[in-house]
Structure 1
Amino acid sequence: DAAKRGYIAYTNCTSTLAEVVPFGGKSPTLGTNPHSWGFPTVEALGYPVVIDWATSTIAMGRVEQFKREGKELPPGCGVDAEGQPTTDPHKIKALLPFGAHKGYGLALLNELFGAAIGGSPPTLRGRAERAKAAGEKSTSAFFFQVIHPEAISGAAFSRGRSQAENIAAVLRDIFGHGNEDCMLPGTIEARAAERCDKAGGLLFSEAEIRGFAEVAEECGQDAPDWTPETFPVAE
């Protein structure tokens, strides 16, 4: 939302769950340590460029999605209980950092940066009871930053261009030179939001609808109509 209003926005956080194996290791000691960037490109693109991802190859929620849909994971996403690589979502016990040592370094950076600003990292991740007994912190720390570009820019751009015109020029260059089919971070999400707006509501897969019914049943709620056949199909 900040990016839509013309600001550059950034956030990251520490993790309380031990879900990610450090590069070269076998046991999870890091979290997914996500971070997000948002850039004000609405004037140039119609939507903000948003980078919002975990520093693991995939998020644990995506593993659950692959379970529901009965699909194998791409190679290099996670390891089993023995620390061995696997593509079976039912055997995944921990995730791997994206980009090997580079993703690991970024995860550690996010952990330390979020902790330094947000009030220390949890020292016993995924071990809430032990942390409580030891008097240790077991909650996440967050860092948020919002920058107003006009407040720190002298606006003395080449050829008298505005910042929005500079951004548009950069994007035109990215999509030139035979790169017309490339996408930007946020493109898929913007298209999905457009489809949802057109359909008049959120769109879910058949597997997700069945999953909602299962959760309702587990919670003791009656959801007899929660089947794919009872929902309208978007074009």
Structure 2
Amino acid sequence: MGTPYYQFCPVAKAMELLDERWTMLVIREMLAGSQRFTELRRGLPRMSPALLSKRLRELSAAGLVTRTEDHGGTRYLLTPAGSELEPIVVALGGWAVRWIGELGDPDLDPKLLMWDLHRHVNRPELPGGRLVVSFAFSDVPPRQRYWWLVCNDGEVDVCDRDPGFEATIGVRTALRTLIKIWRGDLDWAQAARAGALTVDGSGEMHRLLPRLFLLPGGRWAQAPAPG
């Protein structure tokens, strides 16, 4: 638990638990489907393993998270109390999209973006066989510039090294542009018309790309706005 506010107000009581650094982002990751410690770490790459362990213990003690064991190891699952935070997380995201200004360069993380793209692949839209989507970001250092999503039989892997398969779709753009698409500030067609995004592949693959990802920007747009 965080520092007590010593107020009877329910908001104060909630924030004693939830305003600890990273806590709401751990909840966000679990709402997005992360259950394993390694999955949580990939969604929170700048959070130390020790602090993540501490936050999971605190959330478990507060009744928001349960820990279970199976053949794959330990899983962390939200309880009904933890799941009930989902509309709050969505509302916070929607508020930030509407009112928080331009993203700074330190906010742009290709590793986090690619991890989130990987878990938002629209699997029913995947064609049969292997589909490889390559990404080349023009505004990041060379060692982080190239990424691949490999989709095969409903499984999706994200790679920061060439997996050795020919790309079915190639996307060339700035990291900032693709993050704007992820946030819902921009769509694929707008970016392409503006010359900010180039897609390599067949006409069928061009048409597939906007349907290939169920991006969270739509959730932010659905968040309640001021009347």
Smaller-chain TM-score bracket: under 0.3
Structure with greater helix share of residues = 2
Larger radius of gyration: 1
Structure with greater strand share of residues = 2
* Greater relative contact order (Cα < 8 A, sep 6+): 1
TM-score (norm 1): 0.25
